[in-house]
Chain A
Amino acid sequence: GAVVSQHPSWVICKSGTSVKIECRSLDFQATTMFWYRQFPKQSLMLMATSNEGSKATYEQGVEKDKFLINHASLTLSTLTVTSAHPEDSSFYICSADPTGEGSYNSPLHFGNGTRLTVT
């Protein structure tokens, strides 16, 4: 089946540094990938839609200068948390639509997530 690989699975960084998270579609091409954030005991919140070859679309309230998204190829999207602070500590999950249809009844395939801890 369609596999989405996310790396790293966990990372600890110091406050003020930047962290890059990679999301790869291993056996399909994804023109669109999605980045979610999950706080403990809360639902997944969509942060942004990553579009191959163009700018990402950010959800309201998400700082685009802080969460940089690059979708450089059809199989790779990266999320960079810049100048990280302890409040950025969270679980970040990427996903993609292997059908490429982008329709509202197409399920997404998810990566295993990245646990970010900022000290």
Chain B
Amino acid sequence: GDSVTQMEGPVTLSEEAFLTINCTYTATGYPSLFWYVQYPGEGLQLLLKATKADDKGSNKGFEATYRKETTSFHLEKGSVQVSDSAVYFCALTPQNTGNQFYFGTGTSLTVIP
């Protein structure tokens, strides 16, 4: 069945370091891919999305490119800030199945000054 696998955390980085959180997926056809972020004490918020192959989603300095050939949607940011400390979830919705989301296990990121 459809699924998402993301790198396990926790991840601890110094401020201004480069961030990569790996995400790969299993799905037929062309699913839509998402990154959600959960800040401490808050609900999940959409960070970015990509709906077709080679699309790049971007928001708040974060980027992820939909790679069909490697079935990946890795999240990157060139220079993290303390305020980026949160849990990041990769997710997909299978093609033509409505809003049925499948989530990865989440990766906790802590950025230290």
* Partner-binding segment picked from B14-22, B45-53, B73-81: B45-53
Q: How many B residues touch the partner, as a band?
A: 20 to 34
Query: Could you mark each residue 1-22 of chain B with 1 if its beta carbon is under 8 Å from any beta carbon of chain A, else 0?
Result: 0001000000000000000000
Q: Interface residues of B: mostly helix, strand, loop or mixed?
A: loop
Give per-residue flags for B63-81: 1 if the beta carbon is below 8 A from chain A beta carbons, else 0: 0000000000000000000
Residues of B within 8 A of A110 (CB): 36, 43-45
Tier of interface size on chain A: 20 to 34
Question: Is A43 in contact with B105, judged by CB distance below 8 angstroms?
Answer: yes
Question: B98, A43: Cβ atoms under 8 Å?
Answer: no
| A43–B90 CA distance with the chains assembled, in angstroms | 10
Q: Is the CB of B103 within 8 A of A104?
A: no
| Closest chain A residue, CB of each to CB of B33 | A105
Contact with B along A74-107 (1 / 0, CB 8 A): 0000000000000000000101010000111111
Of A32, A104, A111, most B-chain CB atoms within 10 Å: A104
B99 touches A43 (CB 8 A): no
Contact present for A32 and B99 (CB under 8 Å): yes
Tell me whether B43 and A104 are in contact (CB under 8 A): no
Say whether A46 faces chain B, with CB atoms less than 8 Å apart: yes
Find out whether the CB atom of B43 lies under 8 angstroms from the CB atom of A105.
Answer: no
What are the 10 closest A-B residue pairs judged by CB atoms, nearest first?
A: A112-B43, A110-B44, A105-B51, A104-B93, A105-B32, A43-B103, A44-B103, A107-B46, A110-B43, A43-B105
B binding-site residues for A, Cβ under 8 Å: 4, 31-32, 34, 36, 41-46, 49, 51, 89, 93-106
A-B contact pairs, 11 of them (CB 8 A): A34-B99, A41-B105, A43-B4, A44-B101, A49-B100, A104-B100, A105-B49, A105-B51, A110-B45, A112-B42, A112-B43
